[in-house]
Structure 1
């Protein structure tokens, strides 16, 4: 098939690369010329394992084309995916400016009947609004072109997006036309050869499914973090509790790890957008509102533990930070706990030495400039320990799991670890370490 993907951000780039790997001809379109030129050279705007190789290989085979010329792309395509960002607006709603800008570009450049598929996460009912928007422009132009609309939400996890795309748990398709279902099932056939994973539904339900999936996962995280806080005040151990409940097949082990809060581009934005959508229809969702509040408070847990140990005035103290990205396997720092923790410690007078395998440059762009002079960025994890009074682990990258205790003793002023992801064994306390964890 010949496909156009509008938007070369996280979703668009991964989707386009995976479609091309399956033998489709894919045009990835973006309005930012510099980004397109970089992609043509194999320079990616994001870090995602294996994506760079796929982008290079796709271009070498001629199946993956990066361009700013949307007309060229649409002329040679029958399916158009909209995969642009829907950032959170100030009121918590989804900002749809990029969606309707893409829809306008489609309407102004399309030359034949096509299927428009919304891949972006959008509020319920957006698909029909996009269809009406495109058709109104076509009508003004006296165009005879006909379009059909579909919703095909993505369920990619940063750090393993390629695997999720090529081997999806399910492929959700929302449409109002049997022909559209068949077209998209044909497109995804090679992704689900071992068994049928298609979930077919109406467009509004497909749009809702994406929000509900992220809201459910966020709820599990906040729920477990609240249980961790209860464990701390009662003397229970959340790690043992997790094993006790995760063995119940109705609950499972996924997303019930206690920690220092979730971040990223999806959970915070999508939970808030679902809250906003609900309120706009006169329903005020109590559980989702509390999910957000618990997560906001959880990002302060490590700061509070540091203050309990060292006092509110941290002047003269230096803290090592391991991990800046919101999760391992990505350079994404959007809504990352590291931003909150580092900012709050600096406000209290601390100096910071930080290390992350991938996210340092993104972090520098994300944090307020006023804090940068108080942060030293290290080239490796152990250099970040030099002369520090404690280690604070925020992101559980695999390279942080093993500790060289001799180096710790040599480099740290005090053998103190604040473990924000509960990855260390309590046995290290027998080696003279102070270990502070979440809910343990």
Structure 2
């Protein structure tokens, strides 16, 4: 017996019933990005494995345990992208996009990490991300963070909280790293297996541990803000002042370090208590050395990524449906010449500016059965073409969602005006 084929574990189908909510959320986010001057870039799903090893960090969980990596037929090591920033930087260098002026880019699409699937954390997940290159000023950080705050206002979301921190300069982090290693070595036996592994390679990641048994130990660890260099401290203080002036509320979280090696100075996360353990919806930070690290000219930059699955879960949890409503018209007719005329009418209506969704009934059956199918399809309006309408060049317009039966027979050129008038007359 042939086994039943199913989707790969942790990689989910997005069914038509959910698509309008996704599309509505994406369109609202894209509209905000456009208002801030961001332009779309579309990136390959596959990149050379070296790209992520050099940017994310070879000793991070993503590179060590989570990437989908394989050899192609030429023996080249390729990886399904686990995040978007590295690909944007690679594309910018390859195509000469970094020319000194501010460059604002956004991307959207699936990412891949081999994690244990759970709500809000899947092996194929989707992100919208934005990156801005060309300025090291805190004003840019404030503008980008304010844009993410605008996302939530656009969607009608409340209950998201902004956490910010500064990781300081590379030199400051190196000094802090040594201090942190000394502290955790003195408590080596109390660390879990992952933290013991990170101790010698990336001790800042211990601060990001979700193990509740380590909370007290991490809470007593040396604080990163106390080790900031003067320039980073001034940069961060200016950012806080700017966010205050913009009315963007935040909490300084000295344990916020982010999971990718390329971050420095500003880092931030938008978190919620409504999604359980997977509470980070949007996160990002500054990565001023990454372009140079990959072979480009020194180019300061900052960006973020927003998890769409978590955003849609949060919208559902708060009762918000971001779907953009579309009117649906359903054309019904009798067979023969009327059916041909109905096809032509449907095609003409779909060609008009701001056309509604126009469905055509292609099954057999009388008007009553076709109207039933129109109702089942969620149509707002039925357009009826019978022998009488064909002879007179008219169409019968029937509102299917009106409180009382409402229909009129009108010239075909008057369909839209008639629908508008009848809908207005029947508004509750």
Interval containing the TM-score (normalised by the shorter chain): under 0.3
More strand by share: 2
Per the normalisation by structure 1, the TM-score is 0.26
More helix by share: 1
Whichever of the two has the greater Rg, that structure is 2
Per the normalisation by structure 2, the TM-score is 0.26
